[in-house]
Structure 1
Amino acid sequence: MVFKTVFCVICLLGSSWSATAQTLAPFKLFEAIRFSDGPDLQAFGFEHLAIADPHYLGSDVPHAGQVRRALALPRSNRHLVIDIESWPLEGPDQASSIAKYQKTLDAFRKADPSVKLGLYAVLPIRDHWRATGHEGAVALDDWKQQNTTIASSLVPHVDALFPSLYTFYGDKDAWVAYAQSNIKEARRISQGKPIYCFLWPQFHKTLAFLPGDLWYTQLDICRRLADGIVIWGTIGGSSPFRPARWDEKAEWWQATLRFLQEQGKIR
């Protein structure tokens, strides 16, 4: 049985929160996560999100059979995220990549008009240093202009935005600045569509699991600023197809339980 999320978005109006959730809809909890012997997160109020990547779609615009295969992926809702990271959205191939995304989204929409589509880490382009201003005003403006160009072509084709906020560094304050900037940018280009942030409880490079305080901060920032989260993972080693072993006592999971308790999801 799928449990619906029941807690509401809390909008903070303080000056430090420049982007806030702008919908009265319940904060959404999605999961796209596998552990060896892990629990069913749907029992904690998460909905399972289908993600169609090149394993299902290939490296070019998918044909009808590939689209049907992706639409048959297990999911507990109408949402489906397309994750193709080999089509560059900056540089000379930008226009070609945008056209591929448009054709792909249109193919899914034609095959199933009821599906709710999104693109992983495309709207906006995930960025750390330019987004937080560390590379200067010119670089920041360039990032925003790239996002404006992409959004004008792709946002009309999606139902929600799925920015990626994965963790590259262990500095909590730096992660908060990076998340605020990327969520604010997603809100700017969203045309009023919801923002669901991808989070991963492992460091991007080392695959070590995040400490509890950093993970809780990530959950809380997204609750305050976005409309939902997607918890993605896991990777148990060098192969992305081998899930990590489940650890009930892991700091990140204990922080998740605390977060869910505070929202009235569990007792």
Structure 2
Amino acid sequence: MSHIWNRRQFLTLLGGSILLPSACQRVESRPNRSANSFTIFDALLYAEKPKIGMTPIRVDDRGFWKNKDRSRPDRDACQQNARTASKDFSHFVIDIEHWKMNINQAGKDTVQDNIKKYVEIIQWMREAAPSLKLGVYAVPPVRDYWTPVRNQPAGLTSWRAVNQFLKPIAEAADFIVPSLYTFYADIPGWVTYARGNIEEAQQFGKPVYPFLWCRYHTSNRLRGNQFIEGDFWRTQLETVRDRGANGVVLWDWFGHDSPRTNILDTRQGWWQETVKFEATL
């Protein structure tokens, strides 16, 4: 989730895919529709952090293989991963980011094979731990910034097709996990991008828990890894809630800091706004 990408990969991510039916209205014109309940999931990788009532969630990118070959998952590894996680967590996010999932970039055969692997992982884990709720990080929908921001019918239609192709993953999963990381210090742009991606996620009829990272994405040359300003962060939390998402997953890792400290810095504006926001739920 925090991989450092080069500029070409970044531009491909943000501009390579495109979007919703031509009949859709502009995203920002649609009314808010808050869900009946809203859960803040804690995926913050700090050993020391205040307890404010967030729900722990397991996010893992390693426990699906027996060796270094990550091309095919291993059933025994997946099931052991599920059994272990179910002892401490109710929700689990499968975070595999090296499989290509965009048919406009990788082709349908490649993506279809990767869909099959995701569905296998979900089935194997559910067999081992039926109570564990499972979601897949960032697919579907495939994260796209510029398509909802530009709001061009052809792009929206193409993006919808990309995401519809991934429907078997959504059907197998218990919840949908769109990624809404922050690429630019453009609050209105982020809101439009987030609304579009949330609406794409909602079409599958499952609970939606977007991922938010409290830092600017590493691809931003000026602000990469810097903490997001408090007012911007509060806007992100409120946008996710007000667009009808069922909750949000908060993620961060202390390895971005120098010197590294495994203690959450409660002085940061994003954290203070999180505490205030949680108190309103």
Common topology (TM > 0.5): yes
Instruction: Give SS of 1:161's match.
Output: strand
Q: Which amino acid aligns with 2:207?
A: P
Contact 1:133–1:140 (Cα < 8 Å) also in 2: no
Deviation at 1:131, TM superposition (A): 3.0
Kindly provide the CA deviation profile for residues 128-156 of structure 1, in whole angstroms up to 9, marking residues without a partner as x. Answer: 1123336x4322211111111111x1222
1:173 and 2:181 correspond:
no
State how 1:4-43 maps to structure 2 within 5 Å.
16-18=29-31, 20-21=33-34, 23-24=35-36, 26-35=37-46, 37-39=48-50, 43=51
1:50 and 2:53 correspond:
no
Equivalent residue, structure 2, for 1:109: 126
Equivalent residue, structure 1, for 2:266: 248
- Structure 1 regions of 5+ residues with no counterpart? 1-13
State how 1:1-267 maps to structure 2 within 5 Å.
16-18=29-31, 20-21=33-34, 23-24=35-36, 26-35=37-46, 37-39=48-50, 43-53=51-61, 55-58=62-65, 59=70, 60-73=72-85, 76-90=88-102, 91-92=106-107, 93-133=110-150, 136-151=152-167, 153-188=168-203, 190=204, 192-205=205-218, 206-225=224-243, 226-237=245-256, 245-263=263-281
Instruction: Give SS of 2:29's match.
Output: coil
Instruction: Give the percent of matched residue pairs that are identical in Structure 1 and Structure 2.
Output: 34
Report the RMSD for the aligned CA atoms in angstroms: 2.4
Instruction: Give SS of 2:41's match.
Output: strand
Instruction: Give SS of 1:57's match.
Output: coil
Distance 1:15 1:177 in 2: 6
Distance 1:186 1:174 in 2: 19
Contact 2:93–2:137 (Cα < 8 Å) also in 1: yes
Contact 1:198–1:230 (Cα < 8 Å) also in 2: yes
Contact 2:48–2:262 (Cα < 8 Å) also in 1: no
Instruction: Give SS of 1:185's match.
Output: helix
- Structure 2 regions of 5+ residues with no counterpart? 1-26, 219-223
Contact 1:237–1:244 (Cα < 8 Å) also in 2: no
Structure of higher RCO (CA pairs closer than 8 Å, 6+ residues apart): 2
Distance 1:207 1:75 in 2: 33
Contact 1:19–1:183 (Cα < 8 Å) also in 2: no
Kindly provide the CA deviation profile for residues 196-225 of structure 1, in whole angstroms up to 9, marking residues without a partner as x. Answer: 111110111111000001100011111112
Contact 2:141–2:197 (Cα < 8 Å) also in 1: yes
Distance 2:178 2:85 in 1: 21
Aligned in 2, Cα 1:164/1:198: closer, same or farther, shift over 3 Å? same
Q: Which moved more, 1:207-216 or 1:88-97?
A: 88-97
Instruction: Give SS of 2:265's match.
Output: coil
Instruction: Give SS of 1:44's match.
Output: coil
Distance 2:60 2:169 in 1: 17
